[in-house]
Amino acid sequence: MADDYVRRTAITRLEVSDEQRTLLEDTISEWKRGCQIATDMAWGKCNAKSGVQPLAYETVREETDLGSQHAILATHQSAQAITGCIERQSKGKKVSKPTFTAPTVKYDTRTMTLFDDETVSLSTTQSRVRCELALPDADDGYQRQYLDSDAWSVTESTLTARDGNYFLHIGFRRHKNDTERNTAEDGTVLGVDLGIENLAVTSTAYFFSGRELTHNLREFEKVRAGLQQTGTRSAHRTLEQSSGRELRYIRDVLHRASNAIIAEALRYECDVIAFENLTHIRDRTGASWGHKWAFRTLYEQVEYKAEAVGVSVNQVGSAYTSKRCAECGFTADENRPTRNDFQCQKCESEANADYNAAKNIGMRYVRRGQQSSRRTGNSQLALKSGTVTPSGGFTAHPDWFEAEFMDKPRPQRARQRE
């Protein structure tokens, strides 16, 4: 069962020759065509993999240069895209037939092979190419914990082209252990909201600003657009150097943000970190492609860092988390007069909009735990001042709690834990 696995993604740049680059470019182009052909045929008729594949497979094979397995994967990608449209439509959103423009292509264990010498073999429209993984020099690079472990196995992965470089998002999975299978939905939950103005805000009122990241992403886009328009060989080299600096900068920001979220979870003794579902976060926030990638990468960083300290990470539905009052539950568009402000039209409570959303996200996970047959009744949301249950039960933190984390003298008393 898919739910019985822990899943991770390790992103690695590939070293490619000019010949390999041409083959990968052709494969991405044919992949997009294959996905579009399958979608054109299935739109309005079916959306399950078991329906799209027999309907479109032969046509995809005939009209593209994709191999048989990539043709199958293209029909599956089409099914996934159509299903996403149907789900959005069920929530009252306008949808149109998907179009495939992203420079990506899916790989599975039949079309991709990882080798112990840190190379990968990828199927293309013609022959396989074997590329070197541009891994960090340090042995403790985060990718190595998956590549060097027998516990993790490779699963579906994605190749992405960006600014002349190729990045392989390698999917890994391992079976959950007994503790992970039985993670109590009754523990303390930290809610986290992701956004543009604030990259991350927690239900404990920790704010990680996103202004600098947003400004620099925009500046990077301007520089990239200018260099791409120039088109000279020198501009191309500068573009590659700029992209490398951009990637290092963003990863540093996300590293600091993920560390801060983990620290907040540990500080408030949380068992679970809850994020909103990231599938449609770009629509909700108006985020750029760069922001969407940053959100996904931040989530993955928090996920693997949380695992190391025994905290689980989950996603919950994002519907109305930005418009629902975390205090009284009243939901209305008018509650969100501006991007940053939340003003409940019913109970008149006011809060930062991202902070209000973070509490809603965390409480949504708490309520989901309440509905579980395994629930024992102790689920609670972590706040700056204490913990709260869905029924309104509130437990304040001890008087010395803030002092403990502000390097002030702590009262001499034994800390009791339930």
The share of the chain scoring above pLDDT 70, in percent, equals: 78
pLDDT in tens, 115-164: 989 999 999 999 999 999 988 765 556 788 888 888 889 999 999 998 78
pLDDT surpasses 50 at 66? yes
Three-class secondary structure of residue 73 per DSSP: helix
Higher pLDDT, 264 or 395: 264
Residue range 98-120, pLDDT digits in tens? 999 889 999 999 999 999 899 99
287 against 399, higher pLDDT: 399
Question: What pTM does this model have?
Answer: 0.55
- pLDDT range class, residue 37, cuts 50, 70, 90: very high
State how far Cα 121 lies from the chain centre.
26
What is the secondary structure of 237-248 as a DSSP string?
HHHHHHHHHHHH
Is the pLDDT reported for residue 364 higher than 80? yes
Give the tokens for residue 130: 């074997």
Residue 409 has pLDDT above 50, yes or no: no
Q: What is the mean pLDDT of residues 345-363?
A: 90
| Six token digits for residue 208 | 């990680």
Q: List, for residues 48-64, the tens digit of each pLDDT value.
A: 888 999 999 999 999 99
Per-residue confidence (pLDDT) for residue 418, from 0 to 100: 34
Measure the N-to-C terminal CA separation of the chain; round to a whole number of Å: 34
How are beta strands 341-343 and 350-352 bridged, if at all? antiparallel
Q: 231 near 217, Cβ under 8 Å?
A: no
pLDDT tens-place string over residues 368-397: 755 544 444 467 898 988 888 887 777 877
**DSSP 3-state of 281:** helix
| 174-183 pLDDT tens trace | 887 665 555 5
Looking at residue 327, its pLDDT comes to 85
Q: What is the mean pLDDT of residues 274-286?
A: 72
**Burial of 127 (C-beta count, 10 Å sphere; 0-12/13-18/19+):** exposed
- Give the model's pLDDT for residue 145: 80
Structural tokens at position 351: 């809060």
Give the residue from 48, 112, 116, 417 showing the smallest Cα distance to 269.
417
pLDDT at 192 over 90: yes
Contacts of 389 (CB under 8 A, 6+ apart): 366, 379, 380, 381
Hey, which residues does 84 pair with through a beta bridge?
none
- What is the number of other CB atoms lying within 10 angstroms of the CB of residue 342? 23
pLDDT at 289: 57
Residue 230, phi then psi, degrees to nearest 5 = -65, -50
pLDDT at residue 416 is higher than 90: no
The helix or strand, by DSSP H or E, that contains position 290, with its residue range, turns out to be: helix 289-308
Q: pLDDT tens, 206-243? A: 999 888 887 777 776 666 665 556 656 665 555 555 55
